Chains A and B, each alone.
Chain A
Amino acid sequence: AQKVTQAQTEISVVEKEDVTLDCVYETRDTTYYLFWYKQPPSGELVFLIRRNSFDEQNEISGRYSWNFQKSTSSFNFTITASQVVDSAVYFCALSEARLTGGGNKLTFGTGTQLKVEL
């Protein structure tokens, strides 16, 4: 069974601090996909990034960066110079390659609440 663990329930930082959100996953699949989503108070899940299991290059997008390490089954997310607008719940998710009868689903972690204060 697939599993995603986000051990950090809540993180509070002061604006301009860097912050890293941890994600550890379990899967038996050799091909899989990892995602990060942001959920602001409005509730909508906003897609941030997708990474496949064959690409271990780190990725940077503006203030956001992601560190994928297959050896430790981790896909961590760093926000540099955090801003108040970054306050949200962040979810890491794993895509299962196949369900019975086909299809795919996302297995989510429990999320990390990030609070950025002035």
Chain B
Amino acid sequence: ETGVTQSPTHLIKTRGQQVTLRCSSQSGHNTVSWYQQALGQGPQFIFQYYREEENGRGNFPPRFSGLQFPNYSSELNVNALELDDSALYLCASSEGDRARETQYFGPGTRLLVL
């Protein structure tokens, strides 16, 4: 158990809808990263939040957005859902945003877009 929790565990949406996924960090961690994992692929970096500020972004369109709260929990919002957004969404927390920091992952949210 990493202490990183995510909700919901599963979600089904239709194309064009909006979705919000939630993540609670491990105690003492101020950095949250979000990853998208398509079936049969490795996780792809979406973005990272460090002390409530976006701290880096991967190759994802602006309809993927996020927030980090003062307690360091985080949300991932996806607008105008597309079929290709169907994936496992993983969040990871770490003690800081340096390269040496180990990222500890939550169980993920499985999103299906119909």
A residues contacting B by CB (< 8 A) are 4, 29, 31-33, 35, 37, 42-47, 50, 52, 91, 93, 95-111
Pairs A–B under 8 Å by Cβ, sample size 15: A35-B102, A42-B107, A43-B88, A43-B90, A43-B107, A43-B108, A91-B42, A93-B42, A95-B99, A99-B55, A101-B56, A103-B50, A104-B99, A105-B45, A110-B41
Q: Are B42 and A44 in contact (CB under 8 A)?
A: no
| Residue from A29, A32, A44, A96 having most chain B Cβ neighbours under 10 A | A44
CA distance A44 to B35 in the complex (A): 12
Known: A103-B50, A103-B56. A109 touches B106 (CB 8 A): no
Known: A42-B107, A45-B90, A103-B50. A110 touches B56 (CB 8 A): no
B: interface residue count bin: 20 to 34
CA distance A98 to B88 in the complex (A): 26
* Least distance between B58 CB and chain A CB atoms (Å): 7
The answer, yes or no, to whether B105 is at the interface (CB within 8 Å) is yes
The interface residues of chain B lying within 8 Å CB-to-CB of A29 are 99
Q: Are A47 and B56 in contact (CB under 8 A)?
A: no
Q: Are A102 and B56 in contact (CB under 8 A)?
A: yes
The interface residues of chain B lying within 8 Å CB-to-CB of A97 are 98-99
The interface residues of chain A lying within 8 Å CB-to-CB of B101 are 95, 104
* Least distance between A38 CB and chain B CB atoms (Å): 11
Q: Are B48 and A104 in contact (CB under 8 A)?
A: yes
Q: Are B48 and A105 in contact (CB under 8 A)?
A: yes
The answer, yes or no, to whether B75 is at the interface (CB within 8 Å) is no
CA distance A52 to B90 in the complex (A): 24
Q: Are B97 and A102 in contact (CB under 8 A)?
A: yes
Q: Are A106 and B45 in contact (CB under 8 A)?
A: yes
The interface residues of chain B lying within 8 Å CB-to-CB of A103 are 31, 48, 50, 55-56, 97
Q: Are A33 and B90 in contact (CB under 8 A)?
A: no
CA distance A52 to B97 in the complex (A): 16
The interface residues of chain B lying within 8 Å CB-to-CB of A102 are 50, 55-56, 97
